Chains A and B, each alone.
Chain A
Amino acid sequence: MGNWLANHWLSVLFLVSWLGLNIFLFVYAFLNYEKSDKYFYTREILGTALAFARASALCLNFNSMVILLPVCRNLLSFLRGTCSFCNRTLRKPLDHNLIFHKLVAYMICVFTAIHVVAHLFNFERYSRSQQAMDGSLASVLSNLAHEKEGDSWLNPIHSPNTTVMYATFTSVAGLTGVIATTALVLMVTSAVEFIRRNYFELFWYTHHLFIVYIICLGIHGLGGIVRGQTEESIGESHPNNCSNSFREWDKYEWSCRRPHFVGHPPESWKWIVAPIALYIFERILRFYRSQQKVVITKVVMHPSKVLELQMRKRGFSMEVGQYIFVNCPSISFLEWHPFTLTSAPEEEFFSIHIRAAGDWTENLIRTFERQHSPLPRIEVDGPFGTVSEDVFQYEVAVLVGAGIGVTPFASILKSIWYKFQRADNKLKTQKIYFYWICRETGAFAWFNNLLNSLEQEMEELGKMDFLNYRLFLTGWDSNIAGHAALNFDKATDVLTGLKQKTSFGRPMWDNEFSRIAAAHPKSVVGVFLCGPRTLAKSLRRCCQRYSSLDPRKVQFYFNKETF
């Protein structure tokens, strides 16, 4: 727990501040509308629902401002670059931008629910007090003339025959409210993980409804429906003195006059104008970067429909574990898809491996398969994402890649190998244990080849024990096992052709960790995982269990990276 806190204190601080600001703004607005004299008469009709509606409105303004910022990825990269002298722990929260975006979205949904429910009560109460014939203060206030002293009405429902439905849809606030909330619901339902992971294009296009949401939010307050007593009127006839004598307001001699009301000017635009400007700048920046020429230096078709693209772009510099966004205008003009970089920074090109996993990727692979047509234009934005420099800081590194999580390790392994070859003194790593767990190697045959070539190079240099890797196939059946049993004596593995034999099933982490602990009794071991949460849990447990109590002996540090 202490270790986690030391690594994540900035994120925790950030989240606590954000929550704290939300609570503060809510309470501040709530107390303002619940206690202040300006809204005394408004509260007479509406009750506490007024305060709830306004408090949630203020929080909605704040969160709508905040939500646009984490998606400005170029600006965040710029921030990260400017703070390169900062400790890595300080820059880490920038990589969790999407998590924060989702949290703010949930908060917007919660406050929208509160706001809508409160306003339903408000409209209902306005309607009832307009129709009330009992001569109460509420009904007197509701009937304050609209034509006599200009604009000083309180109740937006002007006549007893107006239904709440009519009032809602003929007012700017009501109409924009319904449209904005509908847009919000559509955005949320198309952004749930199930839809996002399986039908990405649907999520991407529907999410652009945020433009509708922002515009509706901006003009939502134009009608000035929230009304408070004017300063002048309070000075003249303070509600504390005059509220009880409301039947005598019209009498000429009475000291209290009719109260005058004025609408609250719209303030949402003040909150969102700066993030909108930043976001527009971000989109312009993305467009500008995408116009820079990308030269495709090599196209490789790997088995199981995996396409490797090696490219060059002027001024492009990457670190291990980063990703880029790729757009191919001939396939889809608007779509940008993220891919992890599989090349090492030491290479002269950067590469990505694209698997056929949906419409866009299949179209892309088909376009590149066509032998005789010219290569389509590719636009690249990036690189973005976490920089896994930590990998090079540990004497012994245990790398675990599960399924598609193996992709960033291509970059890491290559980079480690280059650094080792050049005897780079920034590389503290002396030994790597690499665990590759996947259902079947089909789509990762290219990674197979990478391990193969690494194996050969290590053999040439005579450093066979630098990289120790094990491949675990979890999708085996009796046929495969039978094959493996038959070919037991062969030097290379029958499935992968690698010197290291394939194991079947899942690794027994206890055995692995005790083996590593025994082999390196005095080292600090860094464990890096790119894979599912359940695996992270078991690895973290093993790290704690096998770290020696003596700080001079073997210590395991777990790092779960979201690459």
Chain B
Amino acid sequence: MGQIEWAMWANEQALASGLILITGGIVATAGRFTQWYFGAYSIAAGVLICLLEYPRGKRKKGSTMERCGQKYLTTVVKLFGPLTRNYYVRAVLHFLLSVPAGFLLATILGTVCLVIASVIYLLAAIRGEQWTPIEPKPKERPQVGGTIKQPPTNPPPRPPAEVRKKPSVEEEEAATAGGPQVNPIPVTDEVV
């Protein structure tokens, strides 16, 4: 059980709870049940929870399947920074959101499921998990001519790179002082 990321399950559970809250809320509001205003609250809470939980976070290891069209919500959720990244905040938020819905029978199932989601988020937070957004990978455009390095500055015969590498101040002075071509290694012309 060591590798389980509880936040992933909490996310699914919270999303399901949001939907259940919305459904219960619609039933209570449409049927004008007693204390139906709790139903209206529950619809609003359910929508908020669904929007918050829809973008799936990135798994620690391996690739993560994105939910369809989640990148728009990811940008919004990312804006809240630590409020959405931290799972303690989410656990407390879900618990608080679930309380008013617990007063109405039509939405109490949503409350129970959301409280369970909140507990799982608490467990995830204790284990140090965090919500990381799934970023689209920047497309690597092939750099035209990027690997073409500078053409050699010295005409042949060229000494190996190690010798050419360190231009100290004296050599530069000598180079500038000399003519158009300065041979770092003395060249002997052997005429036979």
User: Residues of A with Cβ closer than 8 Å to B?
Assistant: 113, 116-117, 120-121, 123-124, 127-128, 164-165, 168, 178, 181-182, 185-186, 188-190, 192, 194-195, 198-199, 201-202, 358-359
A125 nearest in chain B by CB position? B31
A127-B34 in contact (CB<8A): yes
Q: Which residues of A contact B125 (CB under 8 A)?
A: none
Which listed residue, A113, A186, A192, touches B116 by the CB 8 Å rule? Answer: A186
**Complex Cα spacing A120 to B38, Å:** 15
**Complex Cα spacing A302 to B104, Å:** 59
User: How near does chain A come to B6, taking the closest CB pair, in angstroms?
Assistant: 8
B109-A182 in contact (CB<8A): yes
**Complex Cα spacing A168 to B107, Å:** 13
Beyond A113-B23, A178-B108, A178-B109, whether A359 also contacts B34 by CB under 8 A is no
A195-B34 in contact (CB<8A): no
Which listed residue, B1, B28, B105, B109, touches A181 by the CB 8 Å rule? Answer: B109
Tally of contact residues, B, Cβ under 8 A: 33
Given A194-B8, A194-B65, A195-B9, output 9 extra A-B contacts at Cβ < 8 Å.
A117-B23, A120-B105, A124-B31, A124-B33, A165-B103, A190-B9, A195-B8, A199-B8, A201-B4
**Complex Cα spacing A198 to B64, Å:** 10
B12-A201 in contact (CB<8A): no
Interface pairs A-B: 6 shortest CB-CB: A189-B12, A189-B13, A164-B105, A199-B4, A124-B33, A120-B106
A199-B3 in contact (CB<8A): yes
Beyond A124-B33, A185-B113, A359-B1, whether A168 also contacts B12 by CB under 8 A is no
**Complex Cα spacing A531 to B27, Å:** 44
User: How near does chain A come to B177, taking the closest CB pair, in angstroms?
Assistant: 44
User: How near does chain A come to B168, taking the closest CB pair, in angstroms?
Assistant: 36
B2 nearest in chain A by CB position? A359
**Complex Cα spacing A178 to B113, Å:** 10
B104 nearest in chain A by CB position? A165
B14 nearest in chain A by CB position? A189
**Complex Cα spacing A440 to B135, Å:** 24
User: How near does chain A come to B125, taking the closest CB pair, in angstroms?
Assistant: 17
5 contacts between A and B (CB under 8 A): A116-B109, A127-B34, A168-B105, A186-B13, A201-B4
**Complex Cα spacing A192 to B16, Å:** 11
Q: Which of B154-178 contact A (CB under 8 A)?
A: none
Which listed residue, B16, B31, B33, B59, touches A185 by the CB 8 Å rule? Answer: B16
User: How near does chain B come to A136, taking the closest CB pair, in angstroms?
Assistant: 18
Q: Which residues of B contact A201 (CB under 8 A)?
A: 1, 4
**Complex Cα spacing A199 to B108, Å:** 29
Q: Which residues of B contact A182 (CB under 8 A)?
A: 109, 112-113, 116
B24 nearest in chain A by CB position? A120
A192-B105 in contact (CB<8A): no
User: How near does chain A come to B21, taking the closest CB pair, in angstroms?
Assistant: 12
A124-B34 in contact (CB<8A): yes
A118 nearest in chain B by CB position? B27
Q: Which residues of A contact B17 (CB under 8 A)?
A: 185
User: How near does chain B come to A312, taking the closest CB pair, in angstroms?
Assistant: 32
A202-B9 in contact (CB<8A): yes
A188 nearest in chain B by CB position? B16
**Complex Cα spacing A225 to B115, Å:** 29
Q: Which residues of B contact A198 (CB under 8 A)?
A: 8, 59, 62
A202-B106 in contact (CB<8A): no
Q: Which residues of A contact B33 (CB under 8 A)?
A: 120, 124
Q: Which residues of A contact B34 (CB under 8 A)?
A: 124, 127-128, 164
B106 nearest in chain A by CB position? A120
**Complex Cα spacing A190 to B117, Å:** 12
Q: Say whether B20 faces chain A, with CB atoms less than 8 Å apart.
A: yes
A185 nearest in chain B by CB position? B113
User: How near does chain A come to B13, taking the closest CB pair, in angstroms?
Assistant: 5
A117-B3 in contact (CB<8A): no
B59 nearest in chain A by CB position? A198
**Complex Cα spacing A97 to B60, Å:** 33
Q: Which residues of B contact A190 (CB under 8 A)?
A: 9, 12
A199 nearest in chain B by CB position? B4
Q: Which residues of B contact A123 (CB under 8 A)?
A: 105
User: How near does chain A come to B59, taking the closest CB pair, in angstroms?
Assistant: 7
A165-B105 in contact (CB<8A): yes
B62 nearest in chain A by CB position? A198
Q: Which residues of A contact B2 (CB under 8 A)?
A: 359
Which listed residue, A124, A178, A199, touches B5 by the CB 8 Å rule? Answer: A199
**Complex Cα spacing A479 to B1, Å:** 38
**Complex Cα spacing A289 to B94, Å:** 46
**Complex Cα spacing A159 to B9, Å:** 42
**Complex Cα spacing A525 to B3, Å:** 45
Instruction: Write the B24-67 contact mask toward A (1 if CB under 8 angstroms, else 0).
Output: 10011001011000000000000000000000100100100100
**Complex Cα spacing A128 to B31, Å:** 12
Beyond A117-B23, A121-B31, A124-B33, whether A359 also contacts B8 by CB under 8 A is no
**Complex Cα spacing A9 to B116, Å:** 43
Q: Which residues of A contact B16 (CB under 8 A)?
A: 185, 188-189
Q: Which residues of A contact B116 (CB under 8 A)?
A: 182, 186
**Complex Cα spacing A46 to B62, Å:** 53
Q: Which residues of B contact A189 (CB under 8 A)?
A: 9, 12-13, 15-16
Q: Which residues of B contact A121 (CB under 8 A)?
A: 27, 31
**Complex Cα spacing A182 to B17, Å:** 10
Q: Which residues of A contact B106 (CB under 8 A)?
A: 120
A165 nearest in chain B by CB position? B105
User: How near does chain A come to B107, taking the closest CB pair, in angstroms?
Assistant: 10
Q: Which residues of B contact A164 (CB under 8 A)?
A: 34, 105
Beyond A164-B105, A188-B16, whether A178 also contacts B112 by CB under 8 A is yes
**Complex Cα spacing A124 to B59, Å:** 44
**Complex Cα spacing A246 to B24, Å:** 35
User: How near does chain A come to B139, taking the closest CB pair, in angstroms?
Assistant: 16
Q: Which residues of A contact B23 (CB under 8 A)?
A: 113, 117
User: How near does chain B come to A440, taking the closest CB pair, in angstroms?
Assistant: 15
A194 nearest in chain B by CB position? B65
A200 nearest in chain B by CB position? B4
A182 nearest in chain B by CB position? B112
**Complex Cα spacing A181 to B106, Å:** 13
User: How near does chain B come to A365, taking the closest CB pair, in angstroms?
Assistant: 14
B26 nearest in chain A by CB position? A117
**Complex Cα spacing A202 to B105, Å:** 30
User: How near does chain B come to A164, taking the closest CB pair, in angstroms?
Assistant: 5
Of listed A116, A181, A194, A358, residue having the most chain B CB within 10 A:
A194
Q: Which residues of B contact A195 (CB under 8 A)?
A: 8-9, 12
**Complex Cα spacing A358 to B12, Å:** 20
